[in-house]
Amino acid sequence: MVTAEEIARVALFADLEPVERNWLSQVVADITLVPGEFAVHEGDERALFGVLEGRLEVLRLVDGVASVIGERKPGDIFGEMSIAFGMLHPGGFRAAEPTRVFRIDLRDYQALVAAAPEVAEQVGLMANNRLAGPKGLQARSSAPVQFRAIVLGRRRDASCAELRRFLDRNQVPFRWLQPDVPADAEQWSDALPDEDDLPAVRVVNGKTVVRPQLRRVAELLDIPTEPAAAEYDTVIVGAGPAGLAAALYGASEGLRTIAIEREAPGGQAGTSSRIENYLGFPSGVSGEALASRSLQQARRLGAEILVTRSITRIDAATRRVHLDGGDVLRARTIILACGVAWRHLEIEGFDRLAGKGIFYGAARSEAANTHGLDIHIIGAGNSAGQAAMFFSSHARSVTILYRGDTLEKSMSQYLVEQLGTRANISVLYRTEVVAAQGDASLETIDVRNAATGATTRLASAALFIFIGADAETGWLPPEIALDPKGYVLTGPDVRAAGRWHLDRDPYLLETSVPGIFACGDVRFSPVKRVAAAVGEGSMAIAFVHQYLRESA
């Protein structure tokens, strides 16, 4: 327990009346930290802290990278910004050596300042100084961004778009230079690579690589691509919302957990411009933000998450998991969280122009390519509506091309209403795209009106396609039962299909192979939602525990 005398050693409380210090000593939490342990994380709830012994580092995430921006020593306080400005903690506080602090919860702080208003005044002054002082957050946030990489490539080069998207989705701050923009070419400060060698990426203070494989880029930037161990309690296939949730819960509950992702964390949700219906985000959240927060959280809680690696084979009998590149992992359990992949359209010109103006799904990183231009969207589901809203703040016009005659059948009413508020969004009903043209990139599309049969050629700088997705499960072993469309059967559906052979019932998310589970969009179920994927990912871990207990 913290004594009244110890509390008096913190300058802010030195002049309190003894009765108030005694009261504080009854209510504060006494926290002992080992080096590396956090007293509070960035984004945690409001509370005020006093330092009694040791030293803490102040950490702040800037563009996904944690940097030390200050320290606190005995006698100091921290948390004053959260208290004074009514915000979550803008930074994390980590013990740099064995450290002891006390925490005053918000309610107790409010009771204290009712009796001692001068404390609130001082906390307010200190918070203002932290924000606006010469070393304050304001000064820091106006400091130039620390780029970790420089990308050199053309706007309409599909490989360059893929590279930029990869860096964005892995939260790597980078600068993009275009070789045909003279000022950019100068900034490259080296001979420009040959046209055939673009795109190129230079790691700041490091190597330059031309036409890089994404895995090579990940390696150069120290993004994990190699498993650290040969055996895991659970191996998770995919790091979309379901896989990230499973990784987070698995690691935080003490399981040796690895999630393996063939692209970048976030899955489909990472490509969503705005998720409006995820609990706890009253004004919606972009898929990228949700993915990046979840990734940080899962890694902080100890999950190993590899990117740019695919799982290519699973041996059902031995539960060996094969990665591309030849690594083989031993898994006590496996969680399939591999989601679905966009359905592709077989239309003249589409394959050739994919990534060069034609995109399946969309990412915020494409926004720069649509500024002031006329673009089109195929589809009439919520994802198409969200994309139209997002791009309408960048493009000159956004036209939704839809075969049906009313959006209300397939799109939520709130989105239909939002679309109606944007003057530069329009819908062409009973219309389908029949061809796309362009040399280096998309220039025009041919659209046919089903009512008149007439075909019209429209100028189009970009075409984003949202026509649904399919489970890509052809690579799974035949022992794992699928529905006719390739979705993985679990729980009661496995039994109903006559594919279960143990005496006990399969767990709700268990596939026809005991110890292999499925969650999220890849699972046979009518619900395809972020919240469902996250819920199932966390539930899968509960079943992993049950399975491991039973097979111990």
Ligand X SMILES: Cc1cc2nc3c(=O)[nH]c(=O)nc-3n(C[C@H](O)[C@H](O)[C@H](O)COP(=O)(O)OP(=O)(O)OC[C@H]3O[C@@H](n4cnc5c(N)ncnc54)[C@H](O)[C@@H]3O)c2cc1C
Q: In degrees rounded to 5, what are phi and psi of residue 116?
A: -130, 75
Contact by Cβ (8 Å): 469, 338: no
Which is nearer to ligand X, 179 or 267 (by Cβ)? Answer: 267
In angstroms, what is the minimal distance from the CB of 284 to ligand X?
Answer: 8
In angstroms, what is the minimal distance from the CB of 515 to ligand X?
Answer: 18
In angstroms, what is the minimal distance from the CB of 536 to ligand X?
Answer: 8
Closest to 101 measured CA to CA, from 42, 43, 41, 33:
33
What b/e string do you get for 200-211 counting C-beta neighbours within 10 Å, with b at 16 or more? bbbbeeeebbee
Rounded Cα distance, 288 and 124, in Å:
34
> Can you give the C-alpha Rg of the chain in angstroms?
27
Q: Regarding beta strands 374-378 and 397-401, do their DSSP bridges make them parallel or antiparallel, or are they unpaired?
A: parallel
Which is nearer to ligand X, 225 or 268 (by Cβ)? Answer: 268
Q: Which residues contact 331 (CB under 8 A, 6 or more apart)?
A: 231, 232, 233, 234, 235, 319, 320, 321
Contact by Cβ (8 Å): 515, 334: yes
Contact by Cβ (8 Å): 7, 28: yes
Which is nearer to ligand X, 82 or 268 (by Cβ)? Answer: 268
Which is nearer to ligand X, 240 or 250 (by Cβ)? Answer: 240
Contact by Cβ (8 Å): 248, 294: yes
In angstroms, what is the minimal distance from the CB of 464 to ligand X?
Answer: 9
In angstroms, what is the minimal distance from the CB of 405 to ligand X?
Answer: 23
Contact by Cβ (8 Å): 147, 174: yes
Rounded Cα distance, 322 and 204, in Å:
34
Site residues for ligand X per CB under 6 A: 237-243, 260-263, 267-269, 271-272, 275-277, 310-311, 337-340, 361, 382-383, 386, 520-521, 528-531, 533
Name the token pair of 35. 């080096």
Which is nearer to ligand X, 343 or 371 (by Cβ)? Answer: 343
Which is nearer to ligand X, 122 or 333 (by Cβ)? Answer: 333
The three state secondary structure string of 441-473 is CCCEEEEEECCCCCEEEEECCEEEECCCEEECC
What b/e string do you get for 414-431 counting C-beta neighbours within 10 Å, with b at 16 or more? ebbebbeeeeebebebeb
Which is nearer to ligand X, 342 or 429 (by Cβ)? Answer: 342
In angstroms, what is the minimal distance from the CB of 283 to ligand X?
Answer: 13
Contact by Cβ (8 Å): 486, 473: yes
In angstroms, what is the minimal distance from the CB of 331 to ligand X?
Answer: 13
In angstroms, what is the minimal distance from the CB of 522 to ligand X?
Answer: 6
In angstroms, what is the minimal distance from the CB of 9 to ligand X?
Answer: 50
With 0-12 / 13-18 / 19 or more C-beta atoms within 10 angstroms meaning exposed / middle / buried, residue 503 is exposed
Which is nearer to ligand X, 157 or 263 (by Cβ)? Answer: 263
Which is nearer to ligand X, 57 or 261 (by Cβ)? Answer: 261
